[in-house]
Structure 1
Amino acid sequence: MVKKRFHFSLQTKIMGLIAALLIFVIGVLTVTFAVQQTKEGRKQAEQLAVQTARTISYMPPAKELIVSKGGQAAEAQEVIEQMKEQTGAYAIYVLDEKGMVRTASENSGNKHLTRSREILFGGSHVSETKTDGQRVIRGSAPIIEEQKGRSQVIGSVSVDFLQTKTEQGIKRHLRDLSFMAVLVLLLGFAGAAALAKSIRKDTLGLEPHEIASLYRERNAMLRAIKEGIIATNREGIVTMMNVSAAEMLKLSEPVMNVPIDDVMPGAELMSVLEQEEMQSNQEVCVNDQVFIINTKVMTQGGQRYGIVISFREKTELKKLIDTLTEVRKYSEDLRAQTHEFSNKLYAILGLLELGEYDEAIELIKEEYAIQNEQHDILFQNIHSQQVQAILLGKMSKASEKKVKLSIDDNSTLGPLPPHVGLSHLITIIGNLIDNAFEAVADQSVQEVSCFITDIGRDIVIEVSDTGLGVPPDKMEAVFERGYSSKGMKRGYGLANVKESVRELGGWIELTNQKSGGAVFTVFIPKEKQTKGESI
């Protein structure tokens, strides 16, 4: 049993990540600030304690208090209280050279303080100690008297500042900082929510695990689909191609970041993107391969993002379909031949039963002469059994349609080269003659002529008719697939002829006779060549 995994939403992940990051950064900054503020507060307290002690030591009342052995105590006391109030000190002491307190502020309980060695040598001193059970920072400075050009330390001044007062200032700053931290955290949450919403909009509301699942499914489907699939961006650059597409296009591997016109030249797929038109079952030729393509423009919110192209190779299948179609026509021609001869045999039988022997003999002679004339040319000048079979079928069909089909007396054809197959001949000769039959169907003179020769380096097949001909502006269009002046679902015969000729490396020409009617001339090289371009 597969255990169902729990997935956090993208918004939860982003908000959690940003919250953790902000908390970490704020925590680090808070600790750093607290440490720096503690050091700075201590340093300021030390400097203030020493500076206050120095200031008092320079005041005359303090010196006179020491020199007079207790005189001027009231004045010195007043000075001490003023300094205490102004600086916010906890206690101030004035000591003699033995460390005895001569005077102090009101809340000072010490009578004797230990002096440091720096004081004895005229320097200031800072220390941490306890007084009245409280931790204080004590700054001390010497009281110096000039006697006969000499400086003598006659006492000292000590000033105490409570450490708790410094800590309270730091706590106040930290409290203010915590308010700012909460505000930044809230802004971070709001920014994370906005970012998550923007990302979800770009991902069409899909969560990351859903996108990953779609990506895996996409790859599996692209490998499973036998049709070629190609996707492009709005500039026509290939962004995705499956393995089947690469194999059909004869690429060693799927390619990306190249223009679609380089991958499928001649398909004119950029026009689909520009015109935003969907194509269904369009037949295109790419590098001598025929594909049936379907295209769909990717749009959202009125914006075009690219196109998706699906295609399948129809070259081999199309050849089979065309061959089957022509073979069917060939069988119909043979059926027509059988039907025509059956009618004539029944006519002869009827004349014989009626005793009209002379008329029966005349009909036989007439039919023999017609058949003998055409068959002599067909069997004596044309030595390809495939061409003979095709022309015999068309002659019977012409007789059924009351069209005169004649084989030119100058026709001559030997055995065909191996690369010219029966399917090619059925497509080329059969469609040209059928097209000529249709061209003369409504004419008073219904004649079709066929000329075949292999003199020279090419096999030449020429079919002419007594129809109206082809307008000059339509001479190229008649070879386009689907073009026809005879109605819908027509216009494939001459297109198939053009393709078969090109496969054989030949070309086709179309002209009009002065007397009226069209002339189709096909040139097929006897030696196998690369596929040429039909004209």
Structure 2
Amino acid sequence: MWTLRSRKRARLSLASQFLVLQVAVLCVVVAVTGVVSFRQSEADFSQSRGARLRAAAEALAGTEAVQDELAAPRSRTALSFYAQQRADTVGATAVYLADAEGVVFASTDPSTYDQRVDLGPGTVLDGRSWTGDISDRGDRAIAAEVPVYSNDAPVRLVGVAVVTEDYPPFTDRLRQALDDMAVFLGLGLLLGVVGSWLLARLIKRRTRGLEPAEIAALADQREALLTSIREGVVAVDGAGTVTVSSATAQDLLGLPADAVGRRLDDLGLPEPVHGLLAGTDEVHDAVVVVGGRAVVVNRNPVAGAGGTVTTLRDRTELLALESELQVRRSVTDTLRAQTHEFSNQLHTISGLVQLEEYDEVGRLIGTLSRRRAAISDEVTAKVEDPAVAALLIAKTSLAAERRVDLDLAPDTALPRVDADLSADLVTVVGNLVDNAVDAAGADGRVVLGLRLVGDEVVLDVADSGPGVPPEREAEIFHRGFSTKPADAAGRGVGLALVQVVCARRGGSVAVGRAPDGGAVFTAVLRS
């Protein structure tokens, strides 16, 4: 597990920085929301008040007395009375009645008589009503402007009715808007701050309390580690996506360079490689063959996060040496057995010579010679490959010493094969025969068959032992499995080595049950 001790710094931690950033963003959002709400409130005020002012202006412009007086101006007092009455009715700031040129004839403010009223960008003098903002006596106001037409024929534009209302002071409008928004914005800000604080704590917990610099250091260390170790490393998350792939792993498994970030199903991997990486159970020191290489695999699930981490070691050369060592050990055991056998025979001949039983010495030597020749002739007649034939002759003597009969099946026939296949056959035959002799025990029997079928060499080794229980057939080829005593040398290697050699040759090895109850191992190697 990656660990890194956090050190105290004067600057804010990642969680604190995130909290401050979130609060700052929330404050900006609240400020923008307040401005937008204030603008919306102002627009609502303009729209609602403008409609009332326009209705008042239309009512004033539709008054017959107003129309007649503007058509022939005579009395400002009467028109001012109508203007004041309408202003009081709608609560307007000012009401103006102007002539067709926009010059005030009567209003609620006598000081504006004979002055030009601000008609804004409207087109009221063209006969169209208008509502909007104008400057009224230096103050910003909302105005409704309605044309006034004569009451006699022909109908003509005789004036303009303008009803205005000053905007409330900015502070009043702001206070009114804040009264409506304060509770909601304050509650939103409070919830946002609490949410940001909880999110900051979550980030701190998910990052194990590490700061950005420490996380970056971990990432750099991981990259350095992956590039420095010779073992391949592949990490797959719970969704089946490759998250880590070292260069060694890419070379061993044939993974593409852009495998990281892609799903295993999308990489087009061979079935053995896909199954190796997609598995979720623990694997310890399993030997698999990938692309002709013997790879030792260890796979462990990732606690909590899901997925697995798989490490791979190329042990092709090591297994080749191990295979050669097994052959040497087998040859050593065979030579030891033959030495013991020859010693006994020499002692017998020496005793007969001392007894001057020379005829018996001749008969004994002839018998031994014929027996040795018979074994050699039987083997070489069916097995033409010198290395395999020599091994079988030696194994026959070794089995005989242990009172086990080692026979060749009647259909055995093996021609001379190339040197590489011959070496692999020696490894497979030696291990299977040794296991069969051990299983058969004293007075037991082992039958070996060798056949070349097309481009495949098929090897059958049957023994008269107790056989392999069905529930253990799947585990006998695992490295380390053995029925020998705990102190037996090289235990749990032979069958695992046989499986690797067969797989590397594109073949397989399996175990079954013989008719007499013993075990039958069948190995297939491609030439």
Normalised by the length of structure 2, the TM-score is: 0.65
Change (3 A) 1:56 1:215: farther
Q: Does 1:292 align with 2:296?
A: yes
Match of 1:230 among 217, 223, 234: 234
1:393-428 Cα distance to aligned partner (Å, 9 max, x none): 446645654556688999998755333334531x23
Check if 1:358 corresponds to 2:356.
yes
Distance change >3 Å, CA 321–CA 181, structure 1 → 2: same
2:330 pairs with 1:332: no
Q: Which residue of 2 aligns with 1:265?
A: 271
Aligned counterpart, 1:369: 366
C-alpha separation in 1, matches of 2:289 and 2:309: 18
2:408/2:447 contact within 8 Å kept:
yes
Deviation at 1:327, TM superposition (A): 0.8
Q: Secondary structure at the match of 1:253?
A: coil
Question: Contact conserved, 1:54 with 1:142, CA < 8 A, in 2?
Answer: yes
Contact 2:236/2:277 (<8 A) preserved: no
**Aligned partner of residue 114 in structure 1, secondary structure:** coil
Q: Deviations over 1:223-272 (max 9, x none)?
A: 44433333334354555433322211234535331339974634755995
Which residue pairs with 1:386 in the alignment? Answer: 387
CA contact (8 A) 1:23 1:185 kept: no
Matched, 1:424 2:425: yes
Structure 2 equivalent of residue 10 of structure 1: 18
Please report how far the alpha carbon of residue 330 of structure 1 lies from its aligned counterpart in structure 2 after TM superposition: 1.4
Identical-pair percentage: 25
Please, what is the CA RMSD of the aligned residues?
A: 6.1
Shift of residue 321, structure 1, vs aligned partner = 1.2
Shift of 1:358: 1.9
Amino acid at match of 1:431: N
Q: Offset of 1:437 from its aligned partner?
A: 3.2
Secondary structure in structure 2 of the residue aligned to 1:358: coil
CA distance in 1, matches of 2:291, 2:99: 112
Q: Does 1:58 align with 2:56?
A: no
- 1:18-41 CA-partner distances (Å, limit 9, x unpaired): 4445544654x2685488579769
One-letter amino acid of the structure 2 residue matched with residue 229 of structure 1: V
Structure number with bigger Rg: 1
Partner of 1:312: 313
Q: Which amino acid aligns with 2:252?
A: M
Deviation at 1:438, TM superposition (A): 2.3
Q: Unaligned stretches of 5+ in structure 1?
A: 530-535
- How far apart are residue 474 of structure 1 and its match? 8.9
Post-superposition CA distance 1:425-453 (Å, at most 9, x none): 1x23433442343244343xx66677889
RCO comparison, higher one (Cα < 8 Å, 6+): 2
- Does the aligned pair in 1 maintain the 2:105–2:114 contact within 8 Å? no
> Counterparts of 1:289 and 1:340 in 2: how far apart (Å)?
41
Amino acid of the residue matched to residue 265 of structure 1? E
In structure 2, relative to structure 1, the CA distance for the partners of 1:37 and 1:370 (3 Å cut) is same
Instruction: Indicate whether 1:253 and 2:251 are aligned.
Output: no
Query: Structure 1 residues 47 and 167 mapped into 2: Cα distance closer, same or farther (>3 Å)?
Result: farther
Seen in structure 2, the aligned counterparts of structure 1 residues 410 and 32 have a Cα distance that, compared at 3 Å, is closer
| Equivalent residue, structure 2, for 1:244 | 248
Q: Distance in 2 between matches of 1:471 and 1:120?
A: 113
**Cα contact 1:128–1:136 (8 A) shared by 2:** yes
User: How far apart, in 2, do the equivalents of 1:504 and 1:55 lie?
Assistant: 109
For residues 153 and 501 of structure 1, the distance between their equivalents in structure 2, rounded to whole angstroms, comes to 111
What are the ranges of 5 or more consecutive residues in structure 2 without an aligned counterpart? 1-8
